[in-house]
Amino acid sequence: MKRGLRTAALLLTAASFLLHGKSGADDTGLRETKAALRLELAQALPATTTTATNLTAEVEAKRLRAQRYLEHEVEEERGLKFLKPVSYRSMKSAEFRGFLVKKIRQQYTPAQMRDYARSLAMVGLLPEGTDFEAKMMEVMDEQVAAFYDQDKAELYTFTDSPLTSNLKRMIVAHEVTHALQDQHFRISKWPLKRKDNDDLVAAHMAVLEGDATQTMAKVYMRGLDMRTALTDLAGAMAQSTEKFMRAPRYFRDMLLFPYQEGQAFIVALEQMGGRELVSCAFKNPPTSTSQILHLDKFHPQREDGVLIQPQVKMEAGWRRLVTNVVGEFGIIVLLRQFDHARDAAAIAAGWRGDRYVAFDTGKGNGLLCWASQWSSPGAARRFVEVYREVVLKRNAAREPSLRLDVRVIDCRVDLTLRVPAAL
């Protein structure tokens, strides 16, 4: 649970209530019943242990009752029923770093993380020399307040969470939604760990997090009243985002994308076809961020990205670092960093597919081979024009040693960028 990210929906919901005077309450009796159950939930979550051995029977019963109540609210708003009980776990905040390192090591070695960061830097997405793993750990340490582990189908909260009780309830509702998603759509089987297509992973994450954020907001609205709204706003605004704001632009934008654009995508689906259409997006998820940004490319007529491969002639001594996909949103993030905040989205909208391969060619020198497909020859030429600017601005200090070769044939662009060793 990204504390500073997911509470954005809570802030907007509470602000809307304060501005428009809307209440999610039903009648007085039901409102009082809900308030009592929410109080139980606030007192009971997170559980201090994973079993009831150290809890009195009364406290354990209250905790279970509060969990069932929150699960019922999520079921009501999402339109799906739990197929089995949710497995709850807890840990201390100090234990999370070790847990996260273990998860990372299951997928990447330290050398692979360095290669990945260097490849992103060649494209222009990250500053050169960024310690990707260290930055990620720093941001996650600050932002994570609860999480669902799809590998083990367990929902974790922290025993020493500083969140106010109602914010804590919303965070748990978000994670409970992930448990519900997993039971119905087996998200543990989704390609969320693919190393060769960041764009696909971002699109899948947008469905998961957008749905959970929208459900969380609906659950919040069910019990919203003036007495809690101001407190919740103050609590959400008090959450620390200092490390998040210090992170490179790429980190910030890619972390926010699944929640902001993902929720907008889910809302648009709901408006077109209700919760049934949202569930269809889980059964056959979008394959690119382009489909998240442009609903008409996903529904009713699906337009998947073009499969494309860069043209590479391997030479002796080259070491392949990474092959990956930048995607439409990745290109937006790239251009935003280099004086194209206003027209980045318009330029990237012409994206139809891409793939790059990055190499170490020895003594710290790098090579980037990047192929992309565009909607028209004009869109392809516009991208090339702007990317030349990006390369020159990013490498102004060593321009004489830099070499960018470009070939444009109709709607296809092939870029070859030779990057000298860092100064």
Task: Report pLDDT digits (tens) over 374-418.
Answer: 999 999 999 999 999 999 887 655 545 678 999 999 999 999 999
Query: For 174-220, what is each residue's pLDDT tens digit?
Result: 999 999 999 999 998 999 999 999 999 999 999 999 999 999 989 88
Place of tokens 């337009």: 303
Place of tokens 């993902």: 262
If you average pLDDT over residues 307-318, what whole number do you get? 89
If you average pLDDT over residues 116-121, what whole number do you get? 94
What gap in Å lies between CA 372 and CA 311, rounded to an integer? 11
pLDDT at 34 over 80: no
pLDDT at 11 over 80: no
pTM for this prediction = 0.85
Q: What is the pLDDT of residue 392?
A: 85
Choose the most confident range, by mean pLDDT, from 97-101, 137-141, 207-211: 207-211
Q: What residues contact residue 230 under an 8 Å CB cut-off, 6+ apart?
A: 14, 18
pLDDT at 121 over 50: yes
Q: What is the pLDDT of residue 293?
A: 98
* Contact indicator for 329, 256 with CB cutoff of 8 Å: no
What gap in Å lies between CA 309 and CA 315, rounded to an integer? 18
pLDDT at 44 over 60: no
Q: What is the pLDDT of residue 423?
A: 47
Which of 130-144, 176-190, 227-241, 252-266 has the weakest average pLDDT? 227-241
The burial of 93, by beta-carbon neighbours within 10 Å (0-12 exposed, 13-18 middle, 19 or more buried), is given as middle
pLDDT at 286 over 90: yes
* Contact indicator for 109, 118 with CB cutoff of 8 Å: no
Q: What is the pLDDT of residue 50?
A: 47
If you average pLDDT over residues 93-97, what whole number do you get? 86
Residue with more model confidence, 38 or 20: 38
Which of 122-126, 184-188, 244-248, 309-313 has the weakest average pLDDT? 244-248
pLDDT at 86 over 90: yes
pLDDT at 248 over 70: yes
